[in-house]
């Protein structure tokens, strides 16, 4: 009887360690998925904006198209129902999600239009990631700057 109780206690300790490792692997996979999704969204939005920039000379249309493209792509981060607001002027715009995580917008995009005629457009995206175990209070994930291809 003593050996069975000892086995149960040893199993309990080993089970806790194994489950902690397993859950940490799951959390890390979710974090990296969010990181790659943010980068993919930035690349997709800038590609769509570059195509639209070839057909218009209006910054307002480009910004609206970027907002709509971001809204479509945000489904990768489970933000498909979120609305977005635009602020800024003179080539520097901010597109902000109305969905909040811990009091901050879940997704923010910074659109910079240097020269619309040459297609010098870039975008950077910041996502407020909240994890299950590690980052419950939130962590910012940014895409870096996605640069559009210049027209010649």
**Residue 93 pLDDT > 80, yes or no?**
yes
pLDDT of res. 17 = 93
Token pair belonging to 142: 């940014």
pLDDT digits (tens, 9 = 90+) for 44-71: 988 888 888 888 778 888 889 889 998 8
Domain spans, the chain: 2-147
């Amino acid at each position: 009887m003593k050996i069975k109780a000892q086995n149960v206690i040893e199993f309990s300790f080993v089970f806790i360690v194994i489950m902690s490792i397993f859950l940490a692997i799951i959390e890390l996979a979710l974090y990296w998925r969010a990181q790659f999704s943010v980068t993919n969204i930035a690349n997709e939005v800038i590609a769509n904006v570059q195509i639209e920039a070839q057909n218009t000379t209006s910054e307002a249309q480009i910004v609206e198209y970027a907002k709509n493209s971001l809204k479509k792509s945000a489904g990768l981060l489970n933000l498909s129902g979120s609305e977005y607001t635009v602020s800024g002027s003179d080539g520097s715009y901010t597109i902000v999600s109305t969905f909040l995580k811990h009091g901050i917008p879940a997704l923010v995009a910074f659109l910079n239009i240097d020269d619309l005629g040459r297609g010098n457009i870039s975008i950077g995206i910041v996502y407020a990631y909240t994890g299950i175990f590690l980052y419950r209070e939130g962590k910012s994930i940014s895409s870096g700057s996605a640069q559009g291809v210049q027209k010649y």
